[in-house]
Structure 1
Amino acid sequence: MNKIFLVLVGLSILMSCDNSKKEKVVFRDLNKNDKLDVYEDSTRSIEARIDDLLSQMSVEEKAGLMFNAISGVGMGEGIERVDSLISKVNIKHLDMPAMATAKQILEHSNKLQKLAENTRLGIPITFYSDPRHGTRHNEAAGENRFHSWWPSELGFGAIGDEALVKEFGDIERQEYLALGIRLALHPMADLATEPRWFRTYTTFGEDADLSAKLTKAYIQGFQGEELGTHSILCQTKHFPGGGPQKDGLDSHFPSGKEQVYPGGMFDYHLKPFTEGALPAGTAQLMLYYGVPVGITEEQVAFGYNKEIVTELLRDSLGFKGVVCTDWALVTDNPAKPASAWGVEHLSPKERVKKIIDAGVDMLGGESCAELVVELVNEGSITEARLNESIRRILHDKFVLGLFDNPYLKKENLKVFENETFKEKGKEAQRKSLVLLKNEANMLPLSQNIKVFPKGIDSLAFSEYATIVETPEEADVIVLKFGTPYTPVEDPKFFLERIFHQGRLDFPEAEKKGLLKLINTKPTISIFTMKRPAVIPDIDKASKALIVDFECQDEILAELVFGKFKPKGKLPIEIPSSVKAVEEQLEDVPHDSENPLYEFGFGLEYQ
């Protein structure tokens, strides 16, 4: 039988010339050998395709596949670095950088997928991203310019509605698909049992049952009931629960490398995983940085810890998906130091070996694939061990359909014109807001009064009230403030500038300034919660107190003027004093002595 092969726009058309029969099979000739390989054949099983591709891969290609790298695009580095990562380092997992328009992201995705297609085996890229749905600027994902806008994860905790969280996940799934992002580095299933922890606002709160049910719904929204070409994979984080940081200091940095369990609540922090992420079928899991003090025999960070990864996660809990470290455990970068806690004395190559020996599949935020190659070539790690991880990694690429068609169409960007999606996001913001105090039923305000806004967009209130220039002219002051923190003097790393941790009470001079303003006229205080601040004096002086989870100012104005009624409930308690914070146990929920406001508290309008 004679066969003719044609290559057109990355596709091969295999035509069988026969007088009695004609067959035409269209496929992507990824390895450029003018024949349909098993791994290129979409009609074959995923396992068969993995077997075939694995047999063709070099050690260098396998090593590159074990890294989730940072492209550098948007951080002063150009496409040349990305081209090198793809074509020379064989990396096929990259972040999706922030760009001004959705069209720019789509074009960037297609351009890089073409670079990947031109490599020896044509293995496609999996683009990953941190959350992009919030109103705030996310340093890891950029400013949300075109996605629908939703409250923070802590705001979802204040709503507590599984169906709403699942619907959110499905909407974001569609928006991610349009941009070519196929791996979500979220949700965070960690528990905010330590109120000083910087990452509190990206959790669902301090309660394990609440977090478990919302984590499960979140993943189901992004992935669907089963993984497929429609899915956005979730890399749920941070196993086995990254919340109980000693003194609330984050383990990105040496000062916070200890994760402690003075209340003996290690299993409590596992619950969002065992009853949420794992039952939902999360495709991947990310480990956190800290050393689990007193939990494992070897006192090393989770990413280096075989007792956590292999014995607990793999053997005991039966997780079969991809396990990834958090970012930069091996080498320093401008954002943070290498979080090699417990193995600081090891060389970068020795660290990579220990991570792989622990049972980890992928290294986050690194691109040192040459160290894996060296380890295999010198016999320190077997190629069979690499293959275990590569099978799991390739499975995810095949199940997403990336080998069959990773390219995006411009018409898919119409999803960002969906007004229903935008309104759903606003409705979630409304449902998240918590009313803590409403003295003499001050709220809602009547329209056409005089308002002095501070820390909030005056335009949001101008539709309902007369905006005045000074507090003395006002009938009411609307004051919006955030959580205080301890500034880092002369920070060495970028993340030290944005990790607002430490104190939860305002410095005395700043507090006096706030109280002076509040006491000028009746004041509605709006607290944008990232961590639960110590604000008893502010609470006492204010006529009304609202907790906001990064909602748009226009939504806050709607609440103040009674366009909807508050429904949210606190997903974390608010402490009454610094002493109460310091006496809390890092791993124990609901243990603040005489909290100013308890977990689950929230008023409604009378």
Structure 2
Amino acid sequence: MKNSTFKSLVCCFLLMNFSCKEEVSLSKNEQIEKKVDALLKLMTLEEKIGQMSQIRHFEEDADVHITSKYIGSIIHTEGPTPGKTALDWQKRFTELQKKALSTRLGIPLLFAVDAVHGQNTFEGATIFPHNIGLGATQNAALVEEIAKITALESAATGFNWVFSPCIAIPYNDKWGRVYEAFSESTELTEKLTKASVNGHQGNLSDPKTVMATAKHFIGDGATNFGVEGGETSLSTKEIQERLLAPYKVAVKENIGAIMASFNTITGISMHANKALLTDTLKVGMNFDGILVSDWKAYSRFGGNDIINAGIDVVMAVDGDLGSFHKGLKAGIKNRSVEISRINDAVKRVLRQKFRLGLFENPFPNADLVKEIGTKKHREIAKQAVRESLVLLKNQTQILPLSKETKKIVVVGEHANSAGLQSGGWTIHWQGTKENYKGATTILDGIKQHAKGEVVFDEKATKQQFDADVAIIVVGENPYAEFFGDIGHESNQLELMLTKEHQQYIKTYQEKGVKTIVVLVSGRPLVVTEQIEKSDAFVAAWLLGSEGDGVAEVLFGDYNFKGKLPHSWPTSTEDYKGKYGPNFWDDSIKPLFPFGFGLSY
């Protein structure tokens, strides 16, 4: 039988499962459930396991695997891009989608990407402040608008699924992903979770929206000593009260997917924790979406144990695809995995594909390409920069700066690098130190607003001591995931400024030049001494592509609005315990409390 003929029969079968009269009386979700059940009855075991499989588009034999292994979803990660332009990306994903549609049942693919602060894998897209900066804005309406733009620009590059938002509650600033989360505050995280989910998803069948993913379930930000993938030793009550609440909000807002986390609880990998993944999340919260694994989870966290625990889609990358398919088939054969578990997983995948309207509109919309990085989108990003800035000190009232200031010296490489000001997950997984397409730097903004002389002294070696004021921009180099953990063997990061950056500040302070310090970081740092000796001190977080938003506030076009999304530490001694100074027991008094922020 020809493939097209078979698929015509499939369509007839789906339609025959409920009459026209019945269809009118059923809700949209009820209609989808009928279609899902009908399609599931037609599927072979190989097709079901294929729908549970996620691979990268650039892997060897990816094209072949889509048709031979009936792959259900594609992920774009660090590695070769689908092309130079957005249309190139769409073309590549269209090619892959056509392969999926050519299979026996013609089930369309999902295309996923880590768009965590804009469509940050595509150069030229609008890059927003990371979530920690959005937490500082406390502006739910703004967060929802940013999520809408992220969804639109992600769809414009061919994606229908994003791995965002991260709704972890970080308790230790040593964790390398603090900036991916909104706040240490459960209440604030709940509010911004609702906004982000609604912004990303909207009406799922609208081609301008995408399926969102809450991550990482659960306890990833609350590991002992802030270790990525470490042990979360909080009590059941503490997890329930502090960590689960944002997920309840996400589920209530019909989030399409949730990603499991790398950490362990009572020594059990979260990927294999049935009590939390199935009993708590799927049954207890009535989550009907996709529970997706994190990177290479099948081989890392127990093989079929993760399927039995509740994982529906496996990130079968870096050689895991073959072992996953072979291992799961063997598990079903020896009855260590029940076919009912497989059917549940596949129904969840099909359900979201129907909700997204992929069976009717499987291909990306070329008309959306013109929406990438537009002036309107960048204005929203600039607004987010302005509202995220937290003024920690302005004792001498040096701010706002007069635009008529005769001479300003701008110090530090972070002032003149879009990559450094944006942090990890920007163009590349671990970020970049270079400027990238469409972005403006902090220095660009200062030069645009100042009417007097502006001199850039990158390494504080030009001895511009006759300047009226020094704007010194210092901070962390980009990092992502475990590479950002303080104490990880792969890095030499500390919870304070490098000696070089401390010297930038000292060089001008010791010469009596008034200093405004702008800190670019993914978390609070121990900068007590630098704050004490500065005339003004600003926490700017990781601000994305619109660096000129900083200048707009420094020169008084806008007031400071940002409030600390995290308590601010006084000393590195604060981090000796398991949880760090952000633990909610108030045993350590912060230098500045959660919610602190000055204004003009």
Which TM-score tier does this pair reach, normalised by the shorter chain? 0.7 to 0.9
Secondary structure at 1:198 match in 2: coil
1:604 corresponds to which letter in structure 2? S
1:462 corresponds to which letter in structure 2? K
The counterpart of 2:39, out of the listed 47, 53, 64, is: 53
Determine the structure 1 residue equivalent to 2:554: 560
- Assess, with a 3 A threshold, how the Cα gap between structure 1 residues 425 and 330 changes in structure 2: closer, same or farther: same
Equivalence map 1:380-395=2 (5 Å): 380-395=336-351
Question: Could you give the per-residue CA deviations for residues 353-394 of structure 1, whole angstroms, max 9, x where no partner exists?
Answer: 111111221223543323222322343323232111111111
Query: Are 1:451 and 2:429 matched, yes or no?
Result: no
Secondary structure at 1:440 match in 2: coil
Residue 232 of structure 1, CA deviation: 1.5
Q: Distance in 2 between matches of 1:369 and 1:443?
A: 61
Q: Distance in 2 between matches of 1:422 and 1:269?
A: 34
Q: Distance in 2 between matches of 1:220 and 1:188?
A: 14
Determine the structure 1 residue equivalent to 2:421: none
The counterpart of 1:238, out of the listed 209, 212, 216, is: 216
Secondary structure at 2:396 match in 1: helix
Q: Distance in 1 between matches of 2:541 and 2:529?
A: 21
8 Å CA contact 2:382, 2:548 repeated in 1: no
Question: Could you give the per-residue CA deviations for residues 193-233 of structure 1, whole angstroms, max 9, x where no partner exists?
Answer: 21211111010010000001110111011112677666411
Q: Distance in 1 between matches of 2:402 and 2:316?
A: 52
Residue 81 of structure 1, CA deviation: 2.9
Determine the structure 2 residue equivalent to 1:589: 584
8 Å CA contact 1:585, 1:591 repeated in 2: no
- Assess, with a 3 A threshold, how the Cα gap between structure 1 residues 317 and 417 changes in structure 2: closer, same or farther: closer
Query: Are 1:120 and 2:95 matched, yes or no?
Result: no
Residue 486 of structure 1, CA deviation: 11
Q: Distance in 2 between matches of 1:486 and 1:215?
A: 24
- Counting matched residue pairs gives 539
Q: Distance in 2 between matches of 1:507 and 1:425?
A: 29
Q: Distance in 1 between matches of 2:225 and 2:527?
A: 19
Determine the structure 1 residue equivalent to 2:251: 278
- Assess, with a 3 A threshold, how the Cα gap between structure 1 residues 512 and 173 changes in structure 2: closer, same or farther: closer
- Assess, with a 3 A threshold, how the Cα gap between structure 1 residues 47 and 459 changes in structure 2: closer, same or farther: closer
Residue 519 of structure 1, CA deviation: 3.1
The counterpart of 2:71, out of the listed 85, 91, 94, is: 91
8 Å CA contact 1:212, 1:271 repeated in 2: no
Query: Are 1:70 and 2:56 matched, yes or no?
Result: yes
Q: Distance in 2 between matches of 1:233 and 1:323?
A: 13
Query: Are 1:147 and 2:120 matched, yes or no?
Result: no
Determine the structure 2 residue equivalent to 1:327: 295
Q: Which region of structure 1 is more displaced relative to structure 2, 583-592 or 458-467?
A: 583-592
8 Å CA contact 1:488, 1:497 repeated in 2: no
Determine the structure 2 residue equivalent to 1:335: none
The runs of 5 or more residues in structure 2 that have no matched partner are 24-30, 417-442
Q: Which region of structure 1 is more displaced relative to structure 2, 364-373 or 444-453?
A: 364-373
Q: Distance in 2 between matches of 1:327 and 1:269?
A: 26
Query: Are 1:359 and 2:343 matched, yes or no?
Result: no
1:273 corresponds to which letter in structure 2? P
Question: Could you give the per-residue CA deviations for residues 112-150 of structure 1, whole angstroms, max 9, x where no partner exists?
Answer: 11121122222111001112545xxxxxx7544333332
Determine the structure 1 residue equivalent to 2:438: none
8 Å CA contact 1:486, 1:501 repeated in 2: no
Determine the structure 2 residue equivalent to 1:406: 362
Residue 467 of structure 1, CA deviation: 2.3
Determine the structure 1 residue equivalent to 2:228: 250
Residue 179 of structure 1, CA deviation: 2.7
Q: Distance in 1 between matches of 2:586 and 2:61?
A: 49
Q: Distance in 1 between matches of 2:286 and 2:489?
A: 37
2:305 corresponds to which letter in structure 1? K
2:243 corresponds to which letter in structure 1? L
Query: Are 1:215 and 2:193 matched, yes or no?
Result: yes
Residue 525 of structure 1, CA deviation: 0.7
8 Å CA contact 2:509, 2:533 repeated in 1: yes
Residue 438 of structure 1, CA deviation: 0.9
Determine the structure 2 residue equivalent to 1:602: 597
Determine the structure 2 residue equivalent to 1:522: 514
Secondary structure at 2:172 match in 1: coil
8 Å CA contact 1:195, 1:532 repeated in 2: yes
Q: TM-score, normalised by structure 1?
A: 0.81
Q: Distance in 1 between matches of 2:557 and 2:479?
A: 37
2:525 corresponds to which letter in structure 1? A
Secondary structure at 2:354 match in 1: helix
Q: Distance in 2 between matches of 1:375 and 1:114?
A: 31
- Assess, with a 3 A threshold, how the Cα gap between structure 1 residues 96 and 239 changes in structure 2: closer, same or farther: same
Question: Could you give the per-residue CA deviations for residues 325-369 of structure 1, whole angstroms, max 9, x where no partner exists?
Answer: 2222233xxxxxx3x3xxxxxxxxxx2211111122122354332
Determine the structure 2 residue equivalent to 1:106: 90
1:130 corresponds to which letter in structure 2? D
- Assess, with a 3 A threshold, how the Cα gap between structure 1 residues 326 and 409 changes in structure 2: closer, same or farther: closer
Residue 174 of structure 1, CA deviation: 2.4
- Assess, with a 3 A threshold, how the Cα gap between structure 1 residues 211 and 39 changes in structure 2: closer, same or farther: same
Q: Distance in 1 between matches of 2:204 and 2:75?
A: 24
8 Å CA contact 1:353, 1:381 repeated in 2: yes
Residue 499 of structure 1, CA deviation: 8.1
The counterpart of 2:173, out of the listed 163, 178, 195, is: 195
Residue 66 of structure 1, CA deviation: 1.0
- Assess, with a 3 A threshold, how the Cα gap between structure 1 residues 500 and 144 changes in structure 2: closer, same or farther: farther
Equivalence map 1:570-585=2 (5 Å): 570-583=564-577, 585=579
Residue 569 of structure 1, CA deviation: 0.4
Secondary structure at 2:252 match in 1: coil
Secondary structure at 2:386 match in 1: helix
Q: Distance in 2 between matches of 1:430 and 1:558?
A: 7
Determine the structure 1 residue equivalent to 2:468: 475
Residue 462 of structure 1, CA deviation: 2.1
Secondary structure at 1:320 match in 2: coil
Question: Could you give the per-residue CA deviations for residues 379-411 of structure 1, whole angstroms, max 9, x where no partner exists?
Answer: 332323211111111110111111122112322
1:373 corresponds to which letter in structure 2? K
1:86 corresponds to which letter in structure 2? I
Determine the structure 2 residue equivalent to 1:373: 329
Q: Which region of structure 1 is more displaced relative to structure 2, 213-222 or 51-60?
A: 51-60
Q: Distance in 2 between matches of 1:282 and 1:486?
A: 28
- Assess, with a 3 A threshold, how the Cα gap between structure 1 residues 358 and 228 changes in structure 2: closer, same or farther: farther
1:354 corresponds to which letter in structure 2? D
1:581 corresponds to which letter in structure 2? Y
- Assess, with a 3 A threshold, how the Cα gap between structure 1 residues 378 and 515 changes in structure 2: closer, same or farther: same
Aligned-CA RMSD value: 3.3
Determine the structure 2 residue equivalent to 1:37: 12
Q: Which region of structure 1 is more displaced relative to structure 2, 156-165 or 508-517?
A: 508-517
The structure with more helix, counted as a fraction of residues: 2
Query: Are 1:287 and 2:260 matched, yes or no?
Result: yes
- Assess, with a 3 A threshold, how the Cα gap between structure 1 residues 555 and 100 changes in structure 2: closer, same or farther: farther
Secondary structure at 1:157 match in 2: helix
- Assess, with a 3 A threshold, how the Cα gap between structure 1 residues 239 and 595 changes in structure 2: closer, same or farther: same
Q: Distance in 1 between matches of 2:168 and 2:146?
A: 19
- Assess, with a 3 A threshold, how the Cα gap between structure 1 residues 161 and 49 changes in structure 2: closer, same or farther: same
Q: Distance in 2 between matches of 1:302 and 1:370?
A: 23
Q: Distance in 1 between matches of 2:166 and 2:5?
A: 36
- Assess, with a 3 A threshold, how the Cα gap between structure 1 residues 499 and 200 changes in structure 2: closer, same or farther: farther
Q: TM-score, normalised by structure 2?
A: 0.82
2:530 corresponds to which letter in structure 1? I
The counterpart of 1:462, out of the listed 434, 447, 456, is: 447
Secondary structure at 1:526 match in 2: strand
The counterpart of 1:546, out of the listed 520, 538, 555, is: 538
- Assess, with a 3 A threshold, how the Cα gap between structure 1 residues 215 and 501 changes in structure 2: closer, same or farther: farther
Determine the structure 2 residue equivalent to 1:343: none
